[in-house]
Amino acid sequence: MQRYFIDSKQILNNIVTITNSDVHHIKNVMRMKVNDEVIVCDNLANTYLSKLISIEKDKVLLEIIDKINENNELPIDITIAHGVVRREKTEEVIRRITELGCYEYLPVLMKRSVVKVYQDRSERQNKIIKEASEQSHRNRLMILSSVISFQELINRKDEFDLCLYAHFNKNVKSIKKIIENFHGRKILVAVGPEGGFADEEVLKLDEAGFIPITLGKRVLRTETAPLYVISVFGYEFESFID
């Protein structure tokens, strides 16, 4: 069933009012009619079954039929702290890790980032997140955070139960070993930009107590590494049907 992410403010007395680009999607892409059913998710992680009750030129009204007890979210909150990369790569990463269940994407200005001037493209990026969340049947949107400096990343350490960074050459710990004894919820994994972390950044990460991990024997591109991380952590923590 088609799914739309809305703001909880759009709900009043069980009626959902849609006036944004979803109107076009409902009317022209999905060609829906009154009485068709859709799933709506709000920004408080509530999921509802609803049905179309009115389709106007620039407005669609839905009536909530039932609250759905569905949870397709990972049982852990993974934040990817990613060295700033080029626009297309950022978009590709955002789209894929949203699908894979990532909690937060946190761009970090790093020494070896090819992109030196960070342009805010959050409007477009949040649109990608919304689309990917709807398509992958998530119950909440991935958080897109504002860009921060490397020092700010280090300062945020205490917000997390576990802080890791991906490194190729270091004496690294296996993800399996680290996970084995982990009982928290909030995990941060830092991934370097195109050229990797600078030596002084690795030093700062070590000093702050970030743990280096390997992503396997091959050298992954900066835009592939986050997909590996979310796939593997998701796989390990998700309770699979059997």
Interacting residues toward its own copies by CB under 8 A:
71-73, 92, 96, 99-101, 135-138, 171-177, 214, 216-221, 224, 227-228, 231-232, 234-235, 238, 240-242
Q: Are 163 and 209 in contact (CB under 8 A)?
A: yes
Q: How far is the CB of 17 from its own copies (least distance, A)?
A: 27
**CA atoms of 191 and 2, how far apart (whole Å):** 34
Nearer to its own copies, 101 or 193 (CB): 101
Q: How far is the CB of 61 from its own copies (least distance, A)?
A: 27
Nearer to its own copies, 36 or 73 (CB): 73
Q: How far is the CB of 178 from its own copies (least distance, A)?
A: 10
Could you tell me which residues come within 8 angstroms of residue 92 by beta carbon, excluding any fewer than 6 positions away? 223
What are the tokens at 210?
């970030």
Nearer to its own copies, 156 or 167 (CB): 167
What are the tokens at 124?
């477009």
Could you tell me which residues come within 8 angstroms of residue 61 by beta carbon, excluding any fewer than 6 positions away? 15, 16, 17, 18, 52, 53, 54
Q: How far is the CB of 103 from its own copies (least distance, A)?
A: 13
Nearer to its own copies, 20 or 136 (CB): 136
Would you give the distance in Å from CA 38 to the centre of its chain? 23
Amino acid at 203: L
